[in-house]
Structure 1
Amino acid sequence: MRTLPPLTAIRAFEAAARHKNYTRAGEELGLTQAGVSYQIKNLEQRVGTLLFVRQGRSMELTLAGEALAPRIAQAFAAMESAFALLGENEDSVLSIACFQTFATNFLAPRLGAFQLANPGIAVRIGVSNRYVDLDAGEADLAIRLSREATPELESHFLMDLGIAPFASPQFVARHPELQRANAAIPDEHRISTGTAWWQLWDEAHCTVRGAGGAIQTRGLEFDSQILDAAAAMSGNGIAILAPALFASEAAAGRLQRIGTAIARPGGVFRLVYPGVRQHSPKVRAFRQWLIAEIKQHLGADPDGLLRQHPPSAPA
């Protein structure tokens, strides 16, 4: 067990030893001259020997004080160096926890621009559909899709979740009935029929599925929006996707949105991080960049995703 004297007293001694003056030491430490004198006396009582003697208007170190002063100065220099190094390491790497679809379709193509604007920050993305423990330091921040914000974390709204059906243009051409207004989407055309997003889509459109409304889980089933979209682009059926995350595929003609309706399941994309990081320069830089990037990506925002909405019928 360590038996060091109080750090305040040690700090007062180190400053007084450099200045040879209690008043100037107090000005550096935010203490009065009497406060420094009290801390020095406290330290002398703990070590059992005098450390300063008064000579005229100045305070001079005793032999014990002269022996102690350089070692204390070295110790403080080592601590300052350690904290400076910690700060440099802390500010130089930004770790992000993100689910696969957002990481692949939104972040990865754009992070080069962030690095050009912030060359001193290296970015590491951890792709996971689980909620990482930010308070335990598993990542600096996370991008999450959820209905409710986590109270103990700083949270910034990014965009609302909207979902809509997509297929390849070739698939739509083979099924012209899909181009009718409010066309029903039969189970046999659906990719990952068991996903909750299809159920939410049906609820928003008052669609009855199968006999008695039962979900028909047959055909292609995946556990990833990326795989659903890949299957749809290959002409294998219709995937229910977030339009904001597949805009590039739609613009390139690899995916075609079926109709103009959108359902709002009530989920929200958020940027979250522990409160202790709210003043971190790297977190602040990424937050400002990401919010601006999303606004630019959505442009005129035809689906109204920049306005947070409760679950509702399709727009």
Structure 2
Amino acid sequence: MRQLPPLSAVRVFEAAARHENFTKAAAELGMTQAAVSYQVKLLEERVGAPLFARSKRRVTLTEAGRRIAPEISRAFDGIDAAFSELRSEDESMLTISTSHTFANTWFAWRLGGFQMENPGCAVRLLATNALADFVTDEVDVAVRAGRGDWPGLEAERLIPIDFTPMCSPVFLERHGGALAPADLLGLPLIGPQDSWWVHWLREAGVDVPDGPVGRGLRLDSQANEGNAAIAGQGMAMLTPFFWRHDLAERRLVRPFAQLSRASYGYWLVYPTHRRNVPKIKRFREWLREQVDSDLKALMAGEPTGDARAAGVAVP
């Protein structure tokens, strides 16, 4: 059985011995000079010999200190080398977890840009609606929908979750071209069980009871609902941020200007203690830039001539 002194004190001694200066050691370790002096004193009491000779202006290693300092430095170098291989492996792969909707409507189309900017870091995307476990799933970061209240995790809001009915231009034309909100109750709806329908219709002044607003196609994600709407299968309640390009290219249209908002948003989350891991920091900065760029483009979007002629509101 090893009879080791407190490793925290050994670590302080190693830094102080390299600098032969308690102030510089304190700056390196993020400690106060008094804390460094205290840890060195604890170690000296443990080994039963002074390791530094102290004067008013400086400290110098004693003979005992000089004898053990190189060995301790080499030991710390060995520990650092042992962990550096793991750090290198960790830095070479970024694993991201997110929902099917975020992955398939927006994320997967842009993630290659991060890979190109960081060729030394492979990227693995896990699309699942289940919450990732950052330990057992070996996930680095996640994008989650919610209120941002996940204990033990840092949460940075990316976008608010807003929504409005959308459909294909052909579907809109087939049902008269111009609609009132109450007309939606008589149309084929995609995801009629979604509470967003009741929320949006009530804000539009339509009196609807709680529960499904009608019968229609039920799919497992907004990504699939949007694609069904593009195919002309009904009216879907969608988030414009995810469908900006489809709106701009007229695969989808917005029959109404009203945009409702829930109390939820999409958040970038990661363990607090890993905030400054280089690959996570680079990814956070890249993702923030991508999201902000698309939000600005969405806010600045103008209706096309065809949309104006049809009386269609688009972002």
The answer to whether 1:191 aligns with 2:190 is yes
Q: Which amino acid aligns with 1:264?
A: R
Instruction: Please say which structure displays the higher CA radius of gyration.
Output: 1
In 1: Cα distance, 2:108 partner to 2:88 partner: 25
Q: Which amino acid aligns with 1:272?
A: V
The answer to whether 1:287 aligns with 2:297 is no
RMSD: 3.9
User: TM-score w.r.t. structure 2 length?
Assistant: 0.73
The answer to whether 1:222 aligns with 2:219 is yes
Q: Which amino acid aligns with 2:203?
A: A
1:242 maps to which of 230, 239, 263: 239
Q: Which amino acid aligns with 1:165?
A: P
Q: Which residue of 1 aligns with 2:203?
A: 204
In 2: Cα distance, 1:303 partner to 1:207 partner: 29
- Matched residue of 2:101: which SS? helix
Closer/same/farther in 2, CA of residues 83 and 245 from structure 1, 3 Å limit: same
The answer to whether 1:116 aligns with 2:116 is yes
Aligned residues: 288
Q: Which residue of 2 aligns with 1:299?
A: 296
In 2: Cα distance, 1:13 partner to 1:217 partner: 73
In 2: Cα distance, 1:60 partner to 1:302 partner: 71
Instruction: Give the fraction of aligned pairs with identical amino acids, expressed as a percent.
Output: 33
Q: Which residue of 2 aligns with 1:97?
A: 97
- Matched residue of 2:109: which SS? coil
Native 8 Å contact 1:169 1:253 kept in 2: yes
Native 8 Å contact 1:26 1:35 kept in 2: no
In 1: Cα distance, 2:211 partner to 2:24 partner: 75
Closer/same/farther in 2, CA of residues 253 and 73 from structure 1, 3 Å limit: same
Measured after TM superposition, the shift of residue 286 of structure 1 is: 1.6
Q: Which residue of 2 aligns with 1:159?
A: 159
Measured after TM superposition, the shift of residue 134 of structure 1 is: 3.5
Closer/same/farther in 2, CA of residues 214 and 97 from structure 1, 3 Å limit: closer
Closer/same/farther in 2, CA of residues 247 and 79 from structure 1, 3 Å limit: same
- Matched residue of 1:143: which SS? strand
Measured after TM superposition, the shift of residue 144 of structure 1 is: 1.6
Q: Kindly provide the CA deviation profile for residues 48-98 of structure 1, in whole angstroms up to 9, marking residues without a partner as x.
A: xx999xxxx99667xxx98x9987665433211023223323333222221
- Matched residue of 1:235: which SS? coil
In 1: Cα distance, 2:188 partner to 2:82 partner: 61
- Matched residue of 1:159: which SS? strand
Measured after TM superposition, the shift of residue 6 of structure 1 is: 2.7
Q: Kindly provide the CA deviation profile for residues 203-236 of structure 1, in whole angstroms up to 9, marking residues without a partner as x.
A: 3223234xx6763553311121122122212211
Q: Which residue of 2 aligns with 1:308?
A: none
In 1: Cα distance, 2:145 partner to 2:289 partner: 18
Native 8 Å contact 1:192 1:217 kept in 2: no
Closer/same/farther in 2, CA of residues 14 and 161 from structure 1, 3 Å limit: closer
Q: Kindly provide the CA deviation profile for residues 152-203 of structure 1, in whole angstroms up to 9, marking residues without a partner as x.
A: 4322221211111111211111111x52354621254101211222222223
In 1: Cα distance, 2:300 partner to 2:180 partner: 17
The answer to whether 1:268 aligns with 2:265 is yes
In 1: Cα distance, 2:237 partner to 2:127 partner: 21
Native 8 Å contact 1:26 1:36 kept in 2: no
Q: Could you tell me which runs of 5 or more consecutive residues in structure 1 were left unpaired when the two chains were aligned.
A: 305-314
Measured after TM superposition, the shift of residue 38 of structure 1 is: 5.4
- Matched residue of 2:193: which SS? coil
Closer/same/farther in 2, CA of residues 303 and 272 from structure 1, 3 Å limit: farther
Deviates most, 216-225 or 147-156: 147-156
